Structure 1
């Protein structure tokens, strides 16, 4: 290798791999695509290895490029955090804060936390990415994640917010007018249920608990959906019994479109947590976001 690559070149490579596009990476970095392309040719020449496979329509990392970027992402994040900490001495919190969250978590944040945070820190850009799958937030370049407590990796620092949560079976009054309400979870086997498909492709088994007795049921049903919102709409339309978070069901309860069933089989669980890696520097924007989060939950 002819000398150590510079930080601009490594940052550019990471941006290209993240966006899978020279044009989008160039926009992100404030450079022209031709300048970025020249930087990558120079980087590959100096390192003596191909890092990117290019066609006229796409760009993707080689195995060497993917491995290098995987190692670079947390290091570059730490550099950004270290530089951002200097801004604290000027009373300035700025930059981009990337948070990976479920849709329910995002809706909860948008209610109070996000407006207060953006009003207090106008120089911060907040990037909320919602998806059902659980991702490695470090490997994919996120500052923090938001998930239910049971899904938070054990090596992360977690901050609880939003209070306890419940998952409950629900149905419309019209459905229950034609079908007797289930009295125990096993009764669901004789009902029409709206099933939930996880991002992994697996069907979710409905979980119930009462007096220490735990039951998980693979419910029957002709309709399978992959979001809580769609399940709530389908249940409100009388298509069957659905299994929802209390936050997703709440507006339907308030309008009288859904009612809970098996309510005494649905105890509260810890709820949502914001989590982040504890072994790295915490970016000032994330520390500020956590402060606003704690204020909101108080």
Structure 2
């Protein structure tokens, strides 16, 4: 290799691997797919390595490309942090803040924090990626994550984002009229339930609690979903009983579209937290984002 790759080339390489697509990466980088493809071929020629396996429909890193991506991820993350730290000397922070969040957590951010943050810091750009999986935010290139407090990994700084939350079993008035209302969690065996598939592929077992007694019920049903909003919609349509967070169900309850049941068995869970690594510099954008969360709490 006669010449060290430029930061622009390495940033482009990382984008192509993340998106597994020249077109999607080119959108992020604001350049044409043909220009990006030519840049990557030039990078491969100068390095003397094939970094990508290309087909007409997809692009994926070779073993060498995957190794390079893995090695560059912490290096470029530290570079971004260093630049963000210097950026804190500006009057107003600028740049991009990448956050990994569950579907529910993303909605929470959009309702409570994001509007005020973007209004207060117009030079900041938020990139919120929803994913049901609990990922390694450092290796995936995120500044922070938002998950339920019980899911926050160790060695992370956790900032409470919401108060304690409840899970509710809900059904439509029409369903309850036709099938009756269960009085205990054991009665669910006689009902149609909207099942929830976890990101791991396992079925979620509904959790109930009363007077210190805890029950976990593996419900049966004709429909299985993996998004909370879809579960609420299915319950509204009378397809069965759903088990969702109170925040997700409350709008439909207020409109009379859903009825909460088994209220004597409602468990309480710790709310959502924003979290980030404790051993790294905190970017200026994340620092003011955290300050705003604490202010609005």
| TM-score, L = length of structure 2 | 0.91
**CA positional deviation for 1:33:** 5.1
Q: Which residue of 2 aligns with 1:130?
A: 130
Distance in 2 (CA, whole Å) between partners of 1:54 and 1:179 is 55
**CA positional deviation for 1:133:** 2.4
Distance in 2 (CA, whole Å) between partners of 1:172 and 1:241 is 8
Q: Which residue of 2 aligns with 1:186?
A: 186
Provide the secondary structure at the position in 2 that maps to 1:53: strand
**CA positional deviation for 1:40:** 3.5
Greater shift after overlay, 242-251 or 81-90? 81-90
Residue 5 to residue 193, structure 1, CA distance change in 2 (3 Å):
same
Q: Let me know the Cα RMSD of the aligned residues.
A: 2.2
Q: Which residue of 2 aligns with 1:98?
A: 98
Q: Which residue of 1 aligns with 2:142?
A: 142
Structure 2 segments unaligned to the other structure (5+ residues)? none
Distance in 1 (CA, whole Å) between partners of 2:148 and 2:41 is 44
Q: Which residue of 2 aligns with 1:266?
A: 266
Number of aligned residue pairs: 297
Q: Which residue of 1 aligns with 2:207?
A: 207
**CA positional deviation for 1:128:** 1.4
Distance in 1 (CA, whole Å) between partners of 2:178 and 2:204 is 26
Q: Trace 1:217-296 onto structure 2 (pairs within 5 A).
A: 217-296=217-296
| TM-score, L = length of structure 1 | 0.90
Q: What is the CA deviation profile of residues 56-78 of structure 1, one whole-angstrom value per residue up to 9, with x for unaligned ones?
A: 55432111211221221222122
Q: Trace 1:157-196 onto structure 2 (pairs within 5 A).
A: 157-196=157-196
Distance in 2 (CA, whole Å) between partners of 1:38 and 1:234 is 48
**CA positional deviation for 1:269:** 0.8
Alpha carbons 2:85, 2:281 under 8 Å: kept: no
Q: Which residue of 1 aligns with 2:19?
A: 19
Distance in 2 (CA, whole Å) between partners of 1:177 and 1:37 is 60
Distance in 1 (CA, whole Å) between partners of 2:93 and 2:32 is 28
Q: What is the CA deviation profile of residues 123-144 of structure 1, one whole-angstrom value per residue up to 9, with x for unaligned ones?
A: 1111112232222222222211
